Chain A
Amino acid sequence: MTRQELPDLGARPAPAASGYDKDSTLPTHVGEPIVKVEALHKYFGENHVLRGIDLEVRQREAVMVIGRSGSGKTTLLRCINFLEEPTEGWVEVDEVRLQADPLRARSRQHQEQIRQIRLRAGMLFQEFNLFPHMSVLDNCIEAPVRVTRLSRDEAVARAEGYLDKVGLSDKRDEYPSRLSGGQKQRVAIARALCMEPKVLLFDEPTSALDPELIGEVLLVMEDLAHEGTTMIVVTHEMHFAEEAADRVVFMEDGVIVEQGPPEQLLRDPRHEETIHFLRRFIDR
């Protein structure tokens, strides 16, 4: 990846929408923008959690979002697939464009639009959220069979493929309760991949894991990133971000303070807040 000068981002909150300077060369493997977040705001009651987020993620790009807890990273992710209805702004995933509509959030039409976005954006959770009453295989084929009307045989073949990819094909008939945390999260990744989404959203996927189990999950994610899976990852694993990210986004107080290639943002941050935040993680 070529090291590039980032434009002067000036006073926040106005970072360049994509994180890439228009004139500079993009990393060669990334494609057209597939996720667009525009002027996104989210209030929880009086609490202004997202204060105007603009973010573009391109095909095959791995974007890691870092920042303190409470900075709005997780809320941003949950607003992208509308697990939280944003208060204001736009989200676009693979040409499905949807405006926040908190007053009519429950309307049938809005819900259907949300579902279209969710079909295109898979999500991984801190707590894995595998379905405990279903075997690993049934976890993986449930949505493909019931939602996208894939035939059972096709769904099973697909699930076996992805379980193999995360290294757990021998666990297909186990129930989640018999798996370790790391294995659960890898199954959850396979389950998300089975819907063949355009982008994967990871919400602190290793935060609930015992330290010795984090590695296996990060390894799978790194593989995905290198294979060109589009992903947005909220994480506290700085070394992983440095290793696998095409771009790192630093958030604080509900805005994107700074973004750039990992070697620049993590090693040579421009903004006071970023420097302050990173001091705790990276000893230089």
Chain B
Amino acid sequence: MGGYGGGAGHAHSTAMVELPARAAILDAIDAAGRKRRRSFRVQFALVWLTILAVIGWIYWSTGNIDLEFIAEWGPFILQGAPITVVVAATSIVLAVVLAIVGALGRLSEHPIPFAVASFYVSLVRGTPLLIQILFVYLALPQVGIILNPMLGGILALGFNYGAYMTEIFRAGIQAVPRGQGEAAKALGMPEKLVFRRIIAPQALRVVTPAIGNEFIVMIKDSALISVVAVQELLWRAQTAGQRNFATLQTFLIAALVYWALTIIFSYFQERLERRMAKVDR
């Protein structure tokens, strides 16, 4: 190997000999890095597969898996998945709208919107989601409002998540540097325009990953609206299970579907997060 030991006397020639040697070293470093990452991924997959295999084998050995039953009722349960996703997606849209309004209230200098928003956040965060769902289902008909269960469920979920996300949005708005608003005001922009054109778009960027996160949590929380007979995943698992005295199996199937859904959406969520990180500053 030539190059590094070239000595002071050969300043010109060393520079020329050194180049290929250094390139080779850099290549070797690259290759080693690639290999390390590949081996990491392989081991990761192996660990997952092993754990799954062990759990599966234990379960199998108890004799509780009935493939015929799964083939018969699996599709019925699976049909709940799109309903779950639609419910979660609609609820999150409602929650975002409520959160924007709520955050503006929480940041308002006027006592009335501040008080209303604070009351909303406090009440919703201070009571169980399950009670809120039942309340919408049972209480609204008392005042003559009869919603179909799915709409009621979406309303309850959106209302609940809106309260949590109010605080996320408030923090997002406050995370926009003060100088942004000052610069916009210094250009003569009226306050509403400052918020709409300068603050809100930047705040939205801050909270977008959090919205994705809430959506994933919502997919699982939406199982709660099975109690008001919305025919989503868990309701279907329960119904199929009770009819055939196999609730353990059907719940397991439902759990696996929820897990798969969250893995899929987490993947998109992570990609989104990385994209957002790249765009900014």
- Give A residues with C-beta under 8 Å from B: 81, 83, 106, 111, 115, 118-119, 122-123, 125, 127, 129-133, 142-143, 146-148, 177, 188, 191-192, 195
Contact = CB atoms under 8 A, between A and B. Distances in A.
Contact of B186 (A81, A106, A146, A177): A81
B197 A129 contact: no
A122 B180 CA distance: 15
B180 A129 contact: yes
Given A106-B109, A132-B202, A133-B202, A147 B188 contact: yes
CB-based closest 7 A-B pairs: A129-B183, A143-B187, A123-B186, A119-B188, A129-B179, A118-B188, A177-B281
B280 A132 contact: yes
Given A133-B205, A191-B187, A125 B182 contact: yes
Contact of B197 (A115, A123, A142, A191): A142
Contacts of A127: 177, 179
B198 A131 contact: yes
A115 B194 CA distance: 12
A83 B197 contact: no
B222 to A, nearest CB: 33
A143 B185 CA distance: 10
A169 to B, nearest CB: 21
20 contacts: A81-B186, A83-B186, A118-B185, A122-B186, A122-B187, A123-B186, A125-B183, A129-B177, A131-B180, A133-B202, A143-B184, A143-B188, A143-B189, A146-B189, A146-B193, A147-B188, A148-B188, A188-B183, A195-B187, A195-B188
Interface string B75-111: 0000000000000000000000000000000000100
A131 B183 contact: yes
B211 to A, nearest CB: 17
A123 B182 CA distance: 9
Nearest to B186: A123
Contacts of A131: 180, 183-184, 198, 202
B191 interface: yes
B217 to A, nearest CB: 27
Nearest to B190: A115
Interface in B182-235: 182-191, 193, 197-198, 201-202, 205
Contacts of B201: 133
A213 to B, nearest CB: 17
Given A125-B179, A132-B281, A177-B280, A147 B185 contact: no
B266 to A, nearest CB: 26
Contacts of A130: 183
Contacts of A146: 189, 193, 197
A177 to B, nearest CB: 5
A83 B187 CA distance: 11
Contacts of A195: 187-188
A125 B187 CA distance: 12
Contacts of A191: 187
A12 B190 CA distance: 39
Nearest to A148: B188
B251 to A, nearest CB: 46
A64 to B, nearest CB: 20
A192 B189 CA distance: 12
Given A83-B185, A118-B187, 20 more contacts: A83-B186, A111-B191, A115-B190, A118-B188, A119-B188, A122-B186, A122-B187, A129-B180, A131-B180, A131-B183, A131-B198, A133-B201, A143-B187, A143-B188, A147-B187, A147-B188, A147-B189, A177-B280, A177-B281, A195-B187
A123 B193 CA distance: 18
Contacts of B281: 132, 177
Contacts of A83: 182, 185-186
Interface in B106-156: 109
A73 to B, nearest CB: 17
Contacts of A111: 190-191
Nearest to B196: A146
B114 to A, nearest CB: 15
A125 B178 CA distance: 12
A191 B198 CA distance: 15
A195 B189 CA distance: 11
Contacts of A118: 185-188
A146 B198 CA distance: 12
A133 B205 CA distance: 9
